[in-house]
Amino acid sequence: MAGDLQEGIEFFRTKRWSKALKEFKSLKPSDLESGEKEELSYYLGLCFMKLNQYEDALLHLEQVVTGGSNPLRIYQCRMTLAYIYVITGRSKMAEFELRRLLAAGFKSAQLYSTLGYASWSQKRYKEAVDYYEKALEVDGENPTALNCLGYILVDTNADISRGLRYCRKAVDRKPQNPAYLDSLGWAYFKNGETQEARVWLRRALEAAPHEQEIKKHMRTVVGDVE
C-alpha cells in the first residue's frame, strides 16, 4: 500500500477528516494499483460524508459499489449511500440501495432501521413499524430501533403504552441522546403524564437547544420556549 494512502487512512481513523481528505486528494489514481484505487474511492467518499459534502461523497461511494470486488466493502458503501439519501430527503433512492442489500442476503438492525426511517419519512407508518420490529428481531437492544419504533407508536397513537416502554429502553441505553430524551418526553405526554413529560423534554432541550422538533414538543406541552 502506498505510504501516502496509509497516512491518509491514519488521519481518517483519528477523525482528522480535513487532513485525511487533503492527503487523499493529493494522490494520483494512475500511481496506484487496482486495489488501492478502490481504497482511495472508499475513503474519499467517507471523508466527504464526514465533512457534510454529500454530493462528492455519493460520487466516490458509487464508484466502489459499481466497480468494487469486496462484498463487505460494497455493503458498507450501500449503507452509507442510503444514509446520505435519507438525510438529504431522497428516501426512495435510499430504499433502492437497501433493497439491493436485502436481495443479496444482507440483514442487520442498521439496515432494517434505515428502511424504517425511509418509510416513516414517506408517512408509511405501518411499514416503518414492521421494519423497526425486524431490526429488533436481529438486535433486541438496538437503541435506534427502540427509539424510532417507540416514537412512531406513540406519535400515531397506535400503541402508546408499548411505545413508551420502547422509549424508556432506548434512554436506558443512551441516556444522553437528545433525540431519545425527546421521544421519551413526548411518549409521557401522549400517555397523559404531563409533569414527567416536562422533565424529559427539558433535558432534551438542554442537550440540543437548537433542535426544532424538541422545541415544537416543548411548546405543545408547556407553551412558548426561548
80-131 pLDDT, tens digit per residue, is: 999 999 889 899 999 999 998 999 889 999 999 999 999 999 999 999 999 9
Average pLDDT for residues 166-172, to the nearest whole number?
98
Q: Are the CB atoms for 225 and 189 separated by under 8 Å?
A: no
183, pLDDT greater than 80: yes
Q: Is 127 exposed, middle or buried (0-12, 13-18, 19+ CB in 10 A)?
A: middle
DSSP annotation of 31 reads G
DSSP annotation of 142 reads -
Q: What are phi and psi of 70, to 5 degrees?
A: -95, 110
Give me the percent of the chain exceeding a pLDDT of 90. Answer: 78
157-160: list long-range contacts, CB under 8 Å, 24+ apart.
157/190, 158/125, 158/129, 160/187, 160/190, 160/191
Distance CA 144, CA 118 (A): 14
**2 — pLDDT class (breaks 50, 70, 90):** very low
Work out the mean pLDDT of the chain and round it to a whole number. 92
Cell readout for 33 is: 494499483
Average pLDDT for residues 198-202, to the nearest whole number?
96
Rg (alpha carbons) of the chain, rounded to whole number: 20
**43 — pLDDT class (breaks 50, 70, 90):** very high
Alpha helices in the chain (DSSP H): 3-13, 17-25, 34-50, 54-67, 71-87, 91-103, 109-121, 125-138, 143-155, 160-173, 178-190, 194-207, 212-222
- The dihedral through the CA atoms of 121, 124, 129, 135 has a sign that is negative
DSSP annotation of 192 reads T
Query: Residue 226: what pLDDT?
Result: 52
57, pLDDT greater than 90: yes
**29 — pLDDT class (breaks 50, 70, 90):** confident
DSSP annotation of 26 reads T
What are the residue ranges spanned by the domains of the chain?
A: 142-226
Count Cβ atoms below 10 Å from residue 37 Cβ, excluding itself.
18
CATH level 3 topology of 142-226 = 1.25.40
